[in-house]
């Protein structure tokens, strides 16, 4: 596929209100940048992160380009703010998983729209995943407490569910959005707490709030699309 056809597919299938919402978010990020003097890393991370999440929700493989950029800048922010769980997660897990996602998604694109074919976990897989998540959260929180993490509970839970969310994203499972809703809600609270303590990362907080809203939105979009697909079988 040449670059023109690729861009045509990636830019197709957008609703007017989705484009309008993206423009509003970018305007808010711009206001943060110039009025509140937000850090440049937080601004770039926010823009790339929102684009990644939106494109992933649309089933567009180009999401990984922005995901890799956003991951790099967010890793820097995590290092700067001593969020060791997030740092290890983004630098050592997200980055290679997003590279893997490019090749995995490429094998499961619809021939007409070039969007991914969406799937869901079996009941057995879901139960095993939930039990593993609880055990992993407890263990991760204890480890982060030992290493004097600033937000061990938030950082621990978001780290574990981010691992799960990224895994489910690569597998194209609708349950990824439930994991991301948990991650994004807690991450919003974590960064709000850091901002109250003096960290200049307003765009990062805005990014997580937008992620939270997008997680809810795309869960229902995927659910509706999968329901229509099943009815047509």
Instruction: Identify the pLDDT of residue 1.
Output: 53
Rounded mean pLDDT for each run of 10 residues along the chain, 233 residues in total: 70 83 84 74 81 90 89 83 77 88 90 86 93 94 86 84 92 94 89 80 80 93 85 57
Q: Given this model, what pLDDT does residue 171 score?
A: 93
Cα–Cα distance, 183 to 185 (Å, whole number): 6
Tokens of 202: 């307003």
63-80 helix and 40-57 helix, angle to the nearest 10 degrees: 140
pLDDT of the residue at 174: 95
Q: Which of 104, 67, 69, 74 is nearest to 89 (CA)?
A: 74
Q: How far, in Å, CA of 231 to CA of 229, rounded?
A: 5
Question: Quick check: pTM over 0.95?
Answer: no
CA 167, CA 206: separation in Å to the nearest integer? 24
């Amino acid at each position: 596929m040449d670059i023109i056809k690729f861009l045509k597919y990636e830019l197709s299938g957008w609703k007017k209100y989705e484009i309008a919402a993206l423009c509003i978010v970018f305007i808010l990020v711009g206001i943060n940048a110039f009025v509140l003097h937000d850090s440049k890393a937080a601004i770039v991370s926010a823009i790339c992160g929102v684009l990644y999440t939106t494109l992933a929700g649309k089933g567009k493989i180009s999401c990984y380009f922005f995901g890799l950029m956003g991951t790099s800048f967010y890793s820097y922010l995590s290092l700067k703010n001593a969020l060791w769980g997030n740092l290890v997660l983004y630098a050592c897990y997200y980055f290679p998983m997003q590279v893997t996602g490019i090749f995995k998604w490429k094998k499961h694109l619809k021939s007409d729209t070039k969007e991914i074919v969406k799937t869901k976990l079996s009941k057995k897989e879901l139960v095993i995943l939930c039990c593993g998540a609880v055990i992993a959260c407890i263990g991760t929180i204890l480890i982060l407490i030992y290493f004097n993490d600033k937000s061990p509970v938030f950082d621990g839970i978001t780290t574990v569910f981010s691992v799960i969310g990224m895994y489910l994203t690569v597998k194209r499972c609708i349950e990824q959005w439930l994991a991301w809703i948990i991650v994004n809600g807690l991450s919003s609270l974590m960064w709000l707490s850091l901002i109250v303590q003096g960290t200049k990362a307003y765009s990062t907080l805005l990014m997580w709030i937008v992620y939270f809203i997008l997680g809810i939105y795309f869960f229902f979009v995927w659910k509706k699309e999968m329901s229509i697909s099943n009815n047509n079988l």
